[in-house]
Amino acid sequence: MNEPENIGRVLRLVIDAVNECNLRCLYCHPGEVWRQQQLPPPALRSAIDAADAAGVLEVVLTGGEITLHHDLPALLTATHRLLRTASTMITNATQLTTETVDRLAASNLTRICTSVDGTTNDLHGYARGKNLPKVLDGLRSLNETGKPITVITVVHQHNWKKVIELSEFLAANGLASQHHLCAPSFSGQARAHYPRLGLREHEFHGVQGLVDRHHRQLADAGLYLTFNSIWPATGIRPLASNPARTITLQQLSEQVKDTLCNIRPNGEFRLQAATWGREMVGNAALGSLHTQPASDLLTRAESLLEEGTARQLPRELEAQHKFQLGAAANRKLTEQLIGRTDSPAPAVDLIPIGSVDQHWLLDNPVDVTDVAAQIDSRPHEHRVVRHPSGAVLVFDRPRSLVTLLKPVEWEQITTTSTTRVMS
């Protein structure tokens, strides 16, 4: 195999291209009166070019509801500028026309994510709006694009016990290749509804228990099931869905805080080291795409992360505020911390960001022969990169899965395969 390409610390760039939505989900992050605010196509192209040049693993196009962007065709055309970087789009699937579906199929998107919260209108619609028939029609249309589909479910107090019924429905009908569960965070609109939506600690464990019991069976049926929120909330290592060295890129970016940056619809470029949802501790903004090239902002982010200037909340403190967990959880204190009140923010001790090569996943065993076989079976769907820490990352592009390897393990793999992977 060819030598891994060297990349920076930022592995994922989330671009919120539009600040509008046709729905009013109770746990939505913005939590403000929706106003028309869209990232213009030239700014998005600048961001996409910078990401690809830097070797970022994935760009995520989202919103708001991205299909409401006035120039969606230009955004989708811009995905063809990506030569190395994968691209994902997140949509609520309620605004899809035949023309939009055709444009999605013709785009260079690597995968598409959409949101479904249950198998009945009552379960799905409790916090999202009773539009399940329309969403399922949209999901079926998205499958016609030929792109891999990931379904995202926000699990809350009223639907989590039934979530496996949705997983089984998706698998039985071939509607998705992945099912990602996530808990609502204390952010935006969810702050007002958190007492009746936010998972309590025993419910986090309950959701993970369901995933543990059903992960293998669903994987055999072609559906990868995982609970993205279990580790940052509780510190539990999800060994059922991560028995070896593989993790979703989203999970990795939540657990290793120097891997993710975000661009807002107003052009603001943010570090995500001390943020959640759309909330931030202090000021994470580095500048604006309207006044600076995205490449300069990404370079600045890399410099701050390399220097160790950017800091993160300790996991337990993040769980306390992001999910209102633990004896010290206090809504008023969190509101002050994220600047949602006139009261001064409390002082918090931020800590250095742990690097990818320190991730707990590297404590798990790995079968290098199996990793080599996976790459050999789909060489053009994998990228192998070397992180600044020295760790080697094997990125499964259409599945957005990352396998972490120690340098010596990669050397072992290179002796078992002659396949050249994507560079």
Higher pLDDT, 31 or 218: 218
CB 115 within 8 A of CB 182: no
The confidence score (pLDDT) of residue 7 equals 97
What phi and psi values does residue 415 have, to the nearest 5 degrees? -85, -10
Whether 422 shows a pLDDT value over 80: the answer reads no
**Which tens digit of pLDDT belongs to each residue from 175-202?**
999 999 999 999 988 999 999 999 999 9
Q: State what percent of residues in the chain have pLDDT above 90.
A: 85
Label residue 49 by pLDDT band (50, 70, 90). Answer: very high
CA dihedral for 165, 171, 175, 179, sign (positive or negative):
positive
Residue type, 217: Q
User: What is the reported pTM?
Assistant: 0.95
The candidate with the shortest Cα–Cα distance to 273, out of 261, 286, 287, 289, is: 261
Predicted pLDDT at 3: 87
Q: Tell me the sheet residues that pair with 151.
A: 114, 179
β-pair type (246-248, 5-6): unpaired
Q: Which pLDDT tens digit goes with each residue over 349-386? A: 999 999 999 999 999 999 999 999 999 999 999 999 99
Distance separating alpha carbons of residues 96 and 112, to the nearest angstrom: 13
Tokens, residue 323: 């999910």
SS (H, E, C) 404-422: EECHHHHHHHHCCCCCCCE
Domain boundaries, the chain: 5-337, 356-414
Task: For the beta carbon of residue 49, count every other beta carbon within 10 angstroms.
Answer: 17
pLDDT band at 283 (very low <50, low <70, confident <90, very high): confident
Burial environment of residue 309 by CB neighbours within 10 A (0 to 12, 13 to 18, 19 or more)? exposed
Q: How confident is the model at residue 417 (pLDDT cuts 50, 70, 90)?
A: low
pLDDT at 272 over 70: yes
Alpha-helical segments (H) within 95-248:
98-106, 121-128, 132-143, 163-172, 190-197, 201-220, 230-234
> Count of alpha carbons within 13 Å of 79, Cβ hemisphere only?
23
- The confidence score (pLDDT) of residue 277 equals 84
The string over 412-421, giving b where at least 16 C-beta atoms fall within 10 Å of a residue's C-beta and e elsewhere, is ebbeebebeb
Residue located via tokens 């709006």 = 129
**What is the band of 217 on the pLDDT scale with cuts at 50, 70, 90?**
very high
d(CA 52, CA 303): 18
User: Rounded mean pLDDT of 340-344?
Assistant: 90
Q: How confident is the model at residue 36 (pLDDT cuts 50, 70, 90)?
A: confident
Taking the CB of residue 243, how many other CB atoms lie within 10 A of it? Answer: 12
Q: Note the CATH architecture for domain 5-337.
A: Alpha-Beta Barrel (3.20)
Mean pLDDT of 41-61: 98
> Locate tokens 């509804």: which residue?
193
Residue 420: its pLDDT value, please? 59
Pairing of strands 178-182, 224-227: parallel
d(CA 367, CA 417): 14
pLDDT of residue 418: 60
Q: State yes or no: pLDDT of 423 exceeds 60.
A: no
Average pLDDT, the chain: 93
